[in-house]
Amino acid sequence: MDVPGRASPEGSGSRRRLSQEDYDGPPLPDSITGRELDRQTRDQLSSLPDRLAVRVARHLVAAGQQMDDDPETAFAHVRAARARAARVPVVREAYAELAYLTERWDEALRELRTVRRMTGAPDSLPLIADCERALGRPERAVALARDPGVRALDAAGQAEMAIVVAGARRDRGQVDAALSVLEAADLHTRSRAPWVARLRYAYADALEAAGRAAAALEWFHRAAGVDGQGDTDALERAEELQARLDRQGDAGR
């Protein structure tokens, strides 16, 4: 699915699929030089001719700067980068990430698979599984849990894979199976990394879905206790659940 661009040593046959606007990408501020990228990314781009490498780097920097506030413009930047450097793994990875963030599920899935083939790394497996789930194929997400690469994921990757697979189980109405997946993950870790809050939140949510409100309340509080960045609404969920339990208690008196 390479989309090489003009002035690229990779050829120009696929460029016709893009409009000139897509190929050029959004305007690049003069303040962006491309040197803002980390050394590892710049090293990958060094395989390109100098001027091309600088242009691609500037698009990647611009995408990173606009990812949160304007994801569609960020996507346009990585699309332009991909048009010029489709055989550079870090470019394909950036494109896949923005396709995922902008909910272009089919496109993200193709790109994530390509990244895995190019790098051999398993890091993209949780996102691949989540794309399958988003496309209405939870059984494929569940099957990916058996991929040998899952065992090579770091702690964050393992947690994200558990969250996605548990979600896929719930999509299929298998709440108990979802709980089993999450209980096999590292729920009791002492780490306060962002993935811990997400994992505990997913477990609390599944407990509530299973009708285990008291246990869910405990785990929403546990999630909130490590969610220093406010990535979840665990505290609000805990307060809502506590209020509901209180009302039920009052009604039973």
The pLDDT score that the predictor gives to residue 18 is 73
**pLDDT digits over 122-158, tens only?**
999 999 999 999 999 999 999 999 999 999 999 999 9
**pTM, whole model, 2 decimals?**
0.87
Domain assignment present for 138? no
**pLDDT digits over 15-55, tens only?**
446 788 888 999 999 999 999 999 999 999 999 999 999 99
Domain assignment present for 162? no
Domain assignment present for 223? no
Spatial CB neighbours of 172, under 8 Å, sequence gap ≥ 6 = 138, 139, 142
Give long-range contacts, CB 8 A cutoff, 24+ apart: 178-181: 178/206, 178/209, 179/203, 179/206, 179/207, 179/210, 181/145
Domain assignment present for 237? no
Domain assignment present for 64? yes
- Cα–Cα distance, 46 to 49 (Å, whole number): 7
Domain assignment present for 170? no
Domain assignment present for 90? yes
- Cα–Cα distance, 45 to 241 (Å, whole number): 51
Closest CA to 42 of 108, 84, 3, 91: 91
Q: What is the mean pLDDT of residues 186-208?
A: 97
Domain count for the chain = 1
The pLDDT score that the predictor gives to residue 140 is 98
The pLDDT score that the predictor gives to residue 241 is 97
- pLDDT higher than threshold 90 for residue 191: yes
Q: Percent of the chain at pLDDT above 90?
A: 88
The pLDDT score that the predictor gives to residue 74 is 98
The pLDDT score that the predictor gives to residue 17 is 64
- Cα–Cα distance, 234 to 213 (Å, whole number): 14
The pLDDT score that the predictor gives to residue 23 is 87
Domain that holds residue 49: 1-104
Q: How far is CA 181 from CA 62, 152, 209, in A?
A: 38, 17, 15
Domain assignment present for 29? yes
